[in-house]
Amino acid sequence: MNIKKTIIIILLALVAMSADAQSLNKDVERLQYVYALKVVINDSIWSGFADKQYDVPLLYYGDTCCYVVNPTEKFLAKYPSVLIHSDNNIQIYQTEKVDDKPFHMHVTFTDEESNIDYRTPFMRCSSLELTSRAVPDVTSVNEWATMVMHEYFHGFQFKNDGYLDTYETITNTVLPDTLIALAACHGWYKESITQENNLLLKAIDTNDIEASRAYIQSFLELRNERRERVKKELGIDIVALEQLYETMEGSARYIEYCLYRHFGNFNLSDAKWLYTVGRKYYYATGFNLLRLSDKLRIDYKYAIFKDVSTVERNLRILISE
């Protein structure tokens, strides 16, 4: 270890034992809470989420330093760090600020071999205080934790064997922003998305199985027509890209929804942003596809990250029976 790294580690240790202990304890408690929520999700929402093979390092940005949970050896070799908490499930280290960006709430991975996230997901999140500055509506620990778990679930997705390769194959074929651009530039596309989502909501709301089948049939027909028009008029095949992003963002939003219900005092009708389409419409359509699958008791969680067409294919099989 060189002299510079030794000095940094000593300084970090002094900070950890200094008057900043109250703030440190607050940050440690929040990180412990996040990992406790992982167990909640694993036990009652999505089995396997807390399995060690899917663990993703979490880099937490505070005002003056960073904390990293369950870091890789590569991270510890690159950033001098001091262990400040350890138990059976997590190890928390304190380190210097990794970068000066004002806000983080995302999962990263890169193709640069020297990077800590080389072809493996790394979760980055800002503290509640920094998040509130960037997103003023977020004022409580639970709101913040829900955002964190949405992004952390993306890390879980990419830890599933083959999912990163699938993501790269599809997004190298069709640009990732294609769906957003289509909805923004073509009124007929946006209108179809709204109608499709409304049909999903009707299928979810009805208790009549035949009515539900009819709504699903109409949804799939309308979806096929829109995709075929895009392919014929614009020369773009969006099927795989749409299924990828509905799987990715729909399941992460589903985790948010389930956590809100877990926290209590939640009414879905008061959170229309969860299930109504916006600029990134696939968040809502993907979420509603999962809610519909739940209602129909169609299992999808075992295969959704192995094959991104799973949820949609299940519905096609249902109406063909």
Task: Please write the tens of the pLDDT for every residue from 196-252.
Answer: 999 999 999 999 999 999 999 999 999 999 999 999 999 999 999 999 999 999 999
d(CA 242, CA 286): 9
Under the banding of pLDDT at 50, 70 and 90, the label for residue 18 is very low
C-alpha to C-alpha distance for 202 and 216, rounded to whole angstroms:
9
- The pTM is what? 0.91
> 66-98 b/e with 16+ CB inside 10 Å = b?
bbbbbbeeebeeebbbbebbeeeebebbbbeeb
Q: Identify the pLDDT of residue 89.
A: 82
Higher-pLDDT residue of 309 and 13 is 309
Tell me: pLDDT of 153 over 50.
yes
Domain ranges, ordered by start, for the chain = 3-159, 174-320
Q: What angle do CA 246, 111, 164 make, to 5 degrees?
A: 30
**3-class DSSP state of 274:** helix
* Amino acid present at 165: D
Mean pLDDT, rounded, of the chain: 93
User: Is-contact 180 280, C-beta < 8 A?
Assistant: yes
Give me the pLDDT at residue 321, please: 83
Residue 19 pLDDT exceeds 90: no
